[in-house]
Structure 1
Amino acid sequence: MNNPRTVIAYINIAHFIDHYAMLVFAAAVIVMAPVFNISYSDLLPYATPGFIAFGAGSLLTGWLGDRWSRRHMMVIFFIGIGASMIAVGLTQTPQQLSFALLAVGLFAAIYHPVGSAMLIAHAERLGREIGVNGVWGNLGVALSALITGVVCQYLGWRWAFVLPGIAAITAGFFFARSVRHEVRVVRKSSPATTARVSKEAMWRVVVALVITIIASSTTFNALTVALPKLFTERLSDLTTSTALIGMIAAGTYGFGAIAQYLIGHLLDRHSLKTLFLPLALMLAPLLFFGATLSGFPLVFVCVGIIIGIFGQITVNDAMIGKYTSDEWRARAYSVRYFLGFTAAGASVGLVASLHERGGFTLMLQALGVLCLLVIVGAIAFPGEDRASA
């Protein structure tokens, strides 16, 4: 039998790789656009198929994880995403780039439904493990901006894809050696997973979850894709260094990691509703407020937005973990990420279109309107009966 701590450690590493891989292009596109002789707004949409595959592919990968093998699917994840990133680094035309980024998205689609299900199946304290796992994903987002900026400046954009691709394949080799396939058995629910609502109120859970996932995932993806370019434009009075912009973006994302860690621990002590509503109330006002800011005030507001959006993602994942059995959990996560990342895939084109029409002012205002739906979802979400099962 696999050691739960070993499995969770590799799942956390995989979460880091997943988000790192999906956002390298968002940071590198600033440097790549002149190389391909295309503007930022025209080159960015070439990533759209990959982001849509990131969500749409989760339906199949979640089903395979439940019906075949979660361990085998994770081996495919490590090797496939690494090889795809290397392929991106070798592309010569925008069309080749689009196909390679599509492959990255398809393999990246394995992690969330399969990896999240493996994590929860081995977790003793649900909230803590989801929070720590979220920190690893957030570090992937943060370090993607930082490392990509540095590598692009000193080694060139191709190495920004090739080096992490080699690292992912290496991690996959060690995962395959350390984690064996095992037949899953139904485990007794821990106290962390016994929170329930009445059957009559379950429709409110589903409605709140669907609304929140679509709105928060679109905002999350749009913001993480746009943040390096947003800081490049609006921090130009402070610096024009690609590496320094990457450092500032990484520092901003770092606050999201802190938020996920704290929210994860609080989820073991408090109901989802208690944490859901305050996080929901943060997003829309901050997005509207930050729409016209620049310089350090913009950075401070973006820190608040990142805290709210990453904390919300932790709550979304905890909902699935609490209300589904292990037998169906990968498929439940596949639906959650199909909705979230498919909607988020459209955000790449949305960022490009809104940036061309009204700059980042229009983009942030549009996201603020969208995040009003998160408030609706939080209000609709029912309270829990936290009595032991």
Structure 2
Amino acid sequence: MSAADASTQTKDHSLIVRLLLNVGHGLDHMFLLIFAASVGVIAIDFGFDSWEDLMPYGVGAFVLFGLGSIPSGRLGDLWGRRRMMVVFFVGIGVSTLIAAMSQNAWQLAVALTLVGAFASIYHPVGIPFLVQKSANPGYAIGINGLAGNLGVALAAVVSGFLIKWLGWRAAFAIPALLSIGCGIWFAYVCPAEPEAPAKRKTSNKVQFPPAMVARALAVMTVSAATGSVLFNFTTNGNGQLLLERFKGIVEDPATLGIMLALIYVVASLMQVIVGKLLDRFAVRPLFLSIVLLQIPLFLLASHAQGWWLFAALLGVMVFIFGAIPFVDVMVVRYVDDRMRSRVAGIRLAVSLGISSVAVWALGPTVKSLGFDVMLMVMAGFAACTALVVTMLPREPAASNSEIS
């Protein structure tokens, strides 16, 4: 690589571009969870007997969130990541506005499916775009993960207040307008890419043999699938779990939204810590430790009530969120930047396609078995993730030169 190429490769995005890329991650997760945060009110408005009966109508968003990652990743590498991020901001905003105008469950289901299609752009495109020039990709991914999960927190608290003050349609419409505005701003401040990533002649040198890379990618895909099931079950079900277990203690929707947001904010900080550690240490021991700690906390949450549940749920979400940066760091560490969006897209399609079943099954599972059984099943998924992580090949502690 020439000195000019090296200089271009290490020159990071401007602060405002990085800020908007992180805001985009927050909006991505927020928009996917507005429905879960408002499903109880929407069910009443649409004439359903319970929120559990309406919940399966949201599954299309998560199916497209997964399956759409393949074309999104391909377009990111071949057409350009900047262009795809503009499409993301504007497309997810317009789709969410359509959801705000829906008049029945099927119209809402179609709109949410569109939201999922545009939401599928962010992870295979936005994260590789963010880290492609970063000197400390683990830390960058940790901050980005914090931003994404602050979006999860905002979905709980902002939706709660907007529903209380303006109704559930405003909970969709106001964030939608914000996203469209961010898209216009991003198009203005982010310079055009000289060429699409796949067309570049120079890139990072992968430091590991092909057999190790193949094994790591297999472990990454399976662990991402089980981890996504845990993430989707909890983030889509936690609001109703708090409502059930705090009955007679706290029942105001806005207050419960603040409580849930607090859990997500505190848990999100774990991603920054993990990201920083991943710039210095090998993946496997860190990943395994965090996944193993999920198991007893899920079992505790399955039996806890009131404030004990709050403490257990906080612990569960700390380690679920703490596990998120590992997969993205593995993509950065093992995969050439010219094809990262495509590899990430395929991995996301598999893992999120599987985990979307969790969203479809959440309502019927809770209705027939209850949250206690569901949380014990989640402990089993955490155990499966731990088993898979033990198969990750050993590797030396990462250095910046290896993963940038």
Deviation at 1:350, TM superposition (A): 1.8
- Choose which of 4, 10, 13 in structure 1 pairs with 2:13: 4
Query: Post-superposition, which runs of at least 4 consecutive aligned residues in structure 1 deviate over 6 A?
Result: none
Contact 1:207 1:377 survives alignment (8 Å): no
Is the alpha carbon distance of 1:198 and 1:166 closer, same or farther for their aligned partners in structure 2, counting shifts above 3 Å?
same
- Determine the structure 1 residue equivalent to 2:47: 37
Task: Map 1:1-389 to 2 at 5 A.
Answer: 4-5=13-14, 6-38=16-48, 39-182=50-193, 183=195, 184=197, 185=200, 189=204, 196-386=207-397
Contact 1:197 1:385 survives alignment (8 Å): no
In 2, Cα distance between the equivalents of 1:35 and 1:259? 38
| SS, match of residue 37 in structure 1 | coil
Deviation at 1:198, TM superposition (A): 4.5
In 2, Cα distance between the equivalents of 1:358 and 1:262? 36
RMSD between aligned alpha carbons? 1.7
| SS, match of residue 132 in structure 2 | helix
Deviation at 1:355, TM superposition (A): 0.4
In 2, Cα distance between the equivalents of 1:371 and 1:3? 36
Is the alpha carbon distance of 1:324 and 1:200 closer, same or farther for their aligned partners in structure 2, counting shifts above 3 Å?
closer
In 2, Cα distance between the equivalents of 1:304 and 1:149? 23
In 1, Cα distance between the equivalents of 2:12 and 2:181? 21
Contact 2:331 2:344 survives alignment (8 Å): yes
Deviation at 1:79, TM superposition (A): 0.6
Deviation at 1:188, TM superposition (A): 5.8
Partner AA of 1:26 in structure 2: A
Aligned residue-pair number: 385
Residue deviations 1:159-186 (CA, integer Å, cap 9, x gap): 0000000000001010011113212446
Q: Which has the higher mean CA deviation after the structures are superposed, 219-228 or 234-243?
A: 234-243
Contact 1:186 1:326 survives alignment (8 Å): no
Partner AA of 2:13 in structure 1: P
In 1, Cα distance between the equivalents of 2:340 and 2:222? 20
> Runs of 5+ in structure 2 lacking a partner?
1-7
In 1, Cα distance between the equivalents of 2:115 and 2:253? 24
Contact 1:272 1:315 survives alignment (8 Å): yes
Is the alpha carbon distance of 1:279 and 1:3 closer, same or farther for their aligned partners in structure 2, counting shifts above 3 Å?
closer
| SS, match of residue 4 in structure 1 | coil
TM-score (norm 2): 0.91
Deviation at 1:277, TM superposition (A): 1.1
Residue deviations 1:217-270 (CA, integer Å, cap 9, x gap): 011011000011110111112211000010011011112211001101111111
| SS, match of residue 247 in structure 2 | coil
TM-score (norm 1): 0.95
Q: Percent identity?
A: 33
Is the alpha carbon distance of 1:111 and 1:200 closer, same or farther for their aligned partners in structure 2, counting shifts above 3 Å?
closer
Contact 1:197 1:382 survives alignment (8 Å): no
In 2, Cα distance between the equivalents of 1:130 and 1:146? 24
Deviation at 1:203, TM superposition (A): 4.0
Partner AA of 1:80 in structure 2: G
| SS, match of residue 122 in structure 1 | coil
Is the alpha carbon distance of 1:266 and 1:224 closer, same or farther for their aligned partners in structure 2, counting shifts above 3 Å?
same
